[in-house]
Every structure is written in C-alpha cells, then in structure tokens.
Structure 1
Amino acid sequence: MAVLNDLQSMVMDQAQGWIRDRMPVTAFRALRDAGAGGFDPGLWSEIADLGWCGVALSEEDGGSGLGHLNLGLILESLGRNVGATPLAATTVAADALAMAGSDALKTAWLPRLAAGEAIGALAVDEGAAHAPDVLATTAVRTEGGWRLDGVKRFVAEGMAADLLIVAAQAEGQTALFAVDAGAPGVSRAPRRLTDFRDHAEVTLSDVVVDADARLTGPDGDAALLDDLLDRARALAAAELLGLSVGAFDTTLEYLKTRVQFGQTIGAFQALQHRAADLYTRIELARSAVEAALSAIDAQAPDRALLVSIAKATAGDTANLATREMIQLHGGIGMTDDHDAGFYIKRARVLENSWGSAAWHRDRFGRLIGI
C-alpha cells in the first residue's frame, strides 16, 4: 500500500464518511428495486458539490488538480458500498478534452464536466469483448467537418451521457471524436447488464461534427486512445478494489458473529486461513492499483504495464472476494435479500470492462516482448 500523504488521507476519510452516510448499500438496493438503473441524480448533485468531478483535472482545466490517485481513493470508497455514479466515465471524457481538445471544445465542455453539470462517456467497443483495435465505426471527411457512422455497444453511462468520446476509423487510422450525445443522428438504447447500472448501445448514423471535434494527441491518435483506455482501466481497478474490501469486511463481520456448533465460525482455523489469504490478496491488489494510478499522474513510461497488472490483479481479487462472500455466508449469501449479489454482479461487469484479466495478461506479455 502506498504511504498516503495528509491530503490523500483527508480525501479518503472524507469520501468514506460521506459515502457511509449518504450511499450505503441500502441506497443502491432502493435504486435497483425502483427499476431506475444507472444512478441517483440527487446524490450525483451532492457529489458534484463535493468537487469530486474535477478531482483529476488540473486547475487550469477547471479542476482541483489532485490527480487520479486521489480519484481512485474515492472510487475505492464507492466500490465498498456498491455506489453507483458516472464519476469514472465523466473523468475519462474530461481527460480526453484536457489532453487533446480544441480551445472551443474545452470552453464548451470542461467547466460543465468538472462541475458535474454534464456527464461524459467513452464509446469504444463494438462487440461483447474488449477489442479497441477492431473498429467498424467510420469517420469520413466532409466539407468543414466529419461524418460518423457505426454502433457502439455496452457504453458505460451511455444513456445519461451528454458528451461521447467516440473511437472510429478515419482515413485508415484510429481517431477520436467529441460528439454531443444530443446531436442529430445519435440514437441510444438501454442495455441492462447484471449490475443494474447504466449501459447503452449507441448508434451513429450520418452524424456530422465540426473539424475541431477530432481529438489529436501529441503522440498520435492511437496513443491517445491507449492513454484514455488506461485511465478507464485503472479507475475500474480502483472500484474493483473497493468491491473486494467491501465484500471482505462484510464477510469478516459475519465470521465473527455467526454461531455454529456452539462457537463463532470465525474460530475455525480453516476459515481463518481463507480470510487471511483473501486479506493478503486485497493488499497486493491495493499496491498494484495505487502504483498504476500514481504512474498515470506522473505520466511514467511504464504506466501501461502497471495498469495491466492492476486491472488483472484487481479483477482476480474481486472475483475471489465476491465468491468467498457468497460461500462463507452459506445459504443466505445465495438470496437476493443479502447484499452479496450486488457485489458479485458489479465485479463481473467491471472485470470484463476495458479488458478482462486474461486480456491484460496477454497485453502485459506483448508489452515486455514475449
């Protein structure tokens, strides 16, 4: 685990306290039971008032300049309670504009994204599996701009998004475009996944955007997409870490209080070993996640490696933690009355978002040349 400085400790303490009071797991259950999906707009407004939407943005771009590690601490805290927000998706969309947007785009969108008045989403994948190198969406140059056509599937926060960062093939190469979600030719249909969160299938049909809607990174558009995806992956890993911690804490409390055969089940050595193994794995995942987020903030040359390590490790850990949560709770853990289902379902979706553990292990091998 990274040694947090005073500011980071304060951010985490504030996040955990507010989330514990305002976003307990019962709040997500109520959202699910209401059939709303997505997130609670009232709580999102409170999050915006706390300044969390601009945590990772620089002060020059309208944020607080606290970086992605601090944002990761907040997302970990949200994950502990299965807190549903579009915070990660909106941050990555804002990052895209801050890194490669025109002055006009920044002026139009960054203040709104940083204030939580607009929601952003990254629209890349077109199939069931993460495949950023396989893009059928096209961008054709027109007089004064571009015309986009294609379908993006399972776009996280896609129904609520005001701004879409769309990956497409333009003149034989990968390109990114900032698209107003309300533009003519953009249509969206909800895709309800097992985690009851906001996902959409986004169809772009003859969507015309201005020339400056194209985002151009200093190292090329493909490198820009990789960088944005790594930010999305690292933030997903932070939430996966939080899910692991929440599942572990709930399970540990149950082991301490559930009585069987005349004693608490936590007194059984076999269960103690399983709890100790899980705790160790969570701390290893924490180190990997915090290293990846710190590398992103520092723009370290090995950040892609560290992100893949973090995403794979956090995914595997959340998989184990949520399965152990169900098994160690016994029959009650299998029921909808218990919260275990919320943890395992959210973990399964996040595990496969932006690349599964297997995908990232393969990527790690490619990055080191094997």
Structure 2
Amino acid sequence: MRFTHTEMSADLRDATRKLLTREWSVDAAKRSAAGENDDAEKLWKHFASLGWPGIAAPSAYGGGSGSLLDLAAVAEEMGRAVAPTQLYSTVVAAEVLGAFGTKDQKDAYLRTIVDGSLRATVALDEPALTAQPDDVPVRAVRNGGWLLTGTRWFVAEAVSADVILMAAATSGGPALFIVPTQTDGLTLTPLATTSGPGQAVVTLSGVRIGEDQIVGSKGAGPAVLRRAREWAQCLQLADVVGVGAYVLEKTVAYVKQRIAFGVPIGSFQAVQHHLANMSTELDCAEMLAFEAIELVDRRDPAATIALARAQSFAPAAVKRATLTAHQLHGGAGEVLEDDLYLYSNRAKRAELTWGTPPEHLARVAEELAAEAGVS
C-alpha cells in the first residue's frame, strides 16, 4: 500500500522539490548543521514570498485554507533535502491560532505569520514528558495578567522565533500562552546539537504577559495542546519519511556503481537482502505516517492510536535505514565529505523528539484498553 497525494499536495510536493533543488544544496545543509544561518535565512525568505507559512491558515487572514496533508507534502520534500525546519514550528503555531485564537490574536499574530514577517514556534513536551499533557515544567499564575516561571528545554527553532506559544500549567489545568521572545524575563540559551542549530533552552523568570495572551477559551487548554502536538508530530513524521526515501535512493545508486572483486557490490545477495529489508521497513513507515496524518487532518477519533503507532515505528525504522546505509557505503559513508551523516542525524532527532517506541506502544495499549472498557 502506498499513499497517494491529492492534486494540490502533489503540486506542492513538486514545487517544493524544484525550489529546494534551486535554492538549497548539500553544502548549504552542511553549513546550517555547523551553525551558520545565512542559507537558512535566504530559504525562509523564499518560503515567505510563496506564502507557504500560510498554506493551511484561514483565507480570511491571507492563508490558503489548505490541509495538513498539503503541509505534509512540503515536509516530506524538506526531509529529503535536510532543509531547515523553521516552517514546521511556524505553521503549527498558525494552525493553533487559526483554530483557537481570538479575533484580536489572529489580527495581531496570524496575519503576520501568514505573510512571513513573523516567525513563531511552540514549546510543548520534552522527551520524558510526552505522554501526559499536564506534565509541563512551566507554571502560570494570575497576577495582574499572567506570570510565567520555569524552564523549557529543547524548544525547536526558538533562536529565530519572534513569538513562542508556551505550554504552562495553571490552576485550571494546562494552557498555551503567546509569549514574544523579547519579553522581559525570557532568556534563550542556544543548544549545540548534532542535527543543527535552532533548539534552545527557554528560561522564564517571572515573565509578565497580558490576560489576553492565553490561547483558547476557559478549559480548552488540553484540546489546544493536543492539536499543536498532533500537527507537530505529523509534520516530523512526513519529514522523516522524506529522509528515508532519499537514503534508500542514494544507497541503491551507490551499490550499483561501487565495484568490488570486479563487479558492483549491488550484485551480492547479502547487499540485496539489506536493501530489501530497508525498502520494506520504509514502505511501512510511509504507510503508517500518512495514515496518521490523514486521520489527524480529518480529526478522526482513530487518529490518536494511528499517530502513536506511527511514532512507535517510523522514526526508528528510518534511523535503522540510515545505519544500514552507512554500512553499505563502507568508509565512504563515514566521512564528512559525504552527506549521509546529515540524514542519520535528522533521523535520530526524529526518533528522540516525541518519546520512545515503548512509550508510544503503551499509549496504543491504553487507548485500545479504554475502547474495550478494560481498566
């Protein structure tokens, strides 16, 4: 079974590949991974000029009223090219504001997100806190508005963001707050990671924001956080599917031209077995990922199980594929002159971001037990 793109998502996929072929390169990806930001900034300007931050935003605010599937087509191509992920964080913020924000919040933030002049990110879960939306290390109390205190690690694209949608615990349950990065008391500490720049530790030391900076009506916090979490996970799943597709194509091409004992190594049965296993696992990863994306897009009740199932398998499968690719490339796959390390780093980041396979499988078991009425 293979997922078939809609006409619009197929057009976006093709347009993204053409743009990245023209405006991005392996060298740019290596510079970005090393901490240089100029290439990523140029690429963002191209995205903004095409209106891609607003692909799925409401047309009333300048968006394209597209779908998560449309964005997933873009994300898949960005994974193939190991392009910067600023777009993902921004479109997740746009989706949350479009779905739950007040008119004033949409006027103040959504319009500028859509036209690319404002970049946003979301600070949701940390790796050890993926299962329960109440497990948030930032607290918010009412004090002439809201007073936020705490530390959030591994906030994606925080370094380049103008606004952070910050999850915090309140007396009424978890909620999401709009926090400009230039607010007094907010400190960003960039993290050095193997998958490139962007992540940061966000420290809030008595950050004061207005009463109107909370997203969603009273009691809507869990639904707001769930929507943000689902969209963020879906875009990363699409991204890692693109990583796997490129790695398989690259490896197949390499074993056809690498000669050993007078013949291409791809003629050896052991190599063929490795490639067959890679292809099978990557097909399964693609199927599970896009099944989850489609169900989330439709807001189907089955989306929770589908997403947990996809998360339990796809990132780990792509990570395994990159390791097999390194093995089949031999020494050529272990040097920085090659681009394979960019893809194995990207796959490992995806595997770690939203929790471990056992955590996701436990979520599947919990949901199935609940459906069956088993306590």
Q: CA-to-partner distance for each residue in 1:163-199, whole Å, 9 max, x for gaps? A: 1111111115111111111111111110111111310
CA 1:347 to 1:126, structure 2 compared with 1: closer, same or farther past 3 Å?
closer
Fraction of identical pairs, as percent: 31
Q: CA-to-partner distance for each residue in 1:221-273, whole Å, 9 max, x for gaps? A: 11321221111111111111111111111111101110111110111122112
In 2: Cα distance, 1:281 partner to 1:39 partner: 33
CA 1:60 to 1:368, structure 2 compared with 1: closer, same or farther past 3 Å?
farther
Aligned partner of residue 165 in structure 1, secondary structure: strand
Deviation at residue 39 of structure 1 after TM alignment: 6.1
Deviation at residue 204 of structure 1 after TM alignment: 0.9
Aligned partner of residue 8 in structure 1, secondary structure: helix
Aligned partner of residue 92 in structure 1, secondary structure: helix
In 1: Cα distance, 2:126 partner to 2:52 partner: 30
Alignment map for 1:262-301 (pairs within 5 Å): 262-301=262-301
Aligned to 2:13: 12
In 2: Cα distance, 1:277 partner to 1:289 partner: 18
Deviation at residue 126 of structure 1 after TM alignment: 5.4
**Which blocks of at least 5 consecutive residues in structure 1 are unaligned?**
none
CA 1:235 to 1:287, structure 2 compared with 1: closer, same or farther past 3 Å?
same
In 1: Cα distance, 2:332 partner to 2:94 partner: 42
In 2: Cα distance, 1:26 partner to 1:312 partner: 32
**Which blocks of at least 5 consecutive residues in structure 2 are unaligned?**
none
Structure 1 position 190 matched with structure 2 position 190: yes
Aligned to 2:138: 137
In 2: Cα distance, 1:82 partner to 1:139 partner: 36
Aligned partner of residue 111 in structure 2, secondary structure: helix
Aligned amino acid, residue 15 of structure 1: T
Deviation at residue 56 of structure 1 after TM alignment: 2.0
CA 1:38 to 1:133, structure 2 compared with 1: closer, same or farther past 3 Å?
farther
Question: Normalized against structure 2, the TM-score is what?
Answer: 0.93
CA 1:189 to 1:39, structure 2 compared with 1: closer, same or farther past 3 Å?
farther
Contact 1:149 1:204 in 2 (8 A): yes
Q: CA-to-partner distance for each residue in 1:130-157, whole Å, 9 max, x for gaps? A: 46432231111122x2111111111000
In 1: Cα distance, 2:317 partner to 2:139 partner: 37
Deviation at residue 37 of structure 1 after TM alignment: 5.4
In 1: Cα distance, 2:57 partner to 2:15 partner: 19
**Number of residue-to-residue matches in the alignment:** 368
Contact 2:72 2:235 in 1 (8 A): yes
Q: Which range is displaced more, 118-127 or 199-208?
A: 118-127
Contact 1:38 1:198 in 2 (8 A): no
Deviation at residue 10 of structure 1 after TM alignment: 1.4
Contact 2:248 2:279 in 1 (8 A): yes
In 2: Cα distance, 1:154 partner to 1:192 partner: 10
In 2: Cα distance, 1:126 partner to 1:340 partner: 27
Deviation at residue 128 of structure 1 after TM alignment: 6.1
Contact 1:315 1:357 in 2 (8 A): no
Contact 2:126 2:353 in 1 (8 A): no
Q: CA RMSD in A?
A: 1.9
CA 1:315 to 1:38, structure 2 compared with 1: closer, same or farther past 3 Å?
farther
Aligned to 1:98: 98
Contact 1:296 1:303 in 2 (8 A): yes
Contact 1:139 1:146 in 2 (8 A): yes
Structure 1 position 199 matched with structure 2 position 199: yes
Contact 1:164 1:179 in 2 (8 A): yes
Deviation at residue 201 of structure 1 after TM alignment: 0.5
Alignment map for 1:54-93 (pairs within 5 Å): 54-93=54-93
Deviation at residue 357 of structure 1 after TM alignment: 2.5
Aligned to 2:23: 22
Q: Which range is displaced more, 347-356 or 101-110?
A: 347-356
Q: CA-to-partner distance for each residue in 1:29-63, whole Å, 9 max, x for gaps? A: 13335x32596111110011122211122323431
Contact 2:289 2:314 in 1 (8 A): yes
In 2: Cα distance, 1:313 partner to 1:57 partner: 30
Deviation at residue 80 of structure 1 after TM alignment: 0.7
Q: Which range is displaced more, 271-280 or 187-196?
A: 271-280
Question: Normalized against structure 1, the TM-score is what?
Answer: 0.94
Aligned to 1:357: 357
In 2: Cα distance, 1:301 partner to 1:262 partner: 56
In 2: Cα distance, 1:219 partner to 1:307 partner: 24
In 2: Cα distance, 1:128 partner to 1:119 partner: 27
Aligned partner of residue 368 in structure 1, secondary structure: helix
Deviation at residue 113 of structure 1 after TM alignment: 1.1
Aligned partner of residue 36 in structure 1, secondary structure: coil
Alignment map for 1:150-165 (pairs within 5 Å): 150-165=150-165
Aligned to 2:167: 167
In 1: Cα distance, 2:238 partner to 2:57 partner: 18
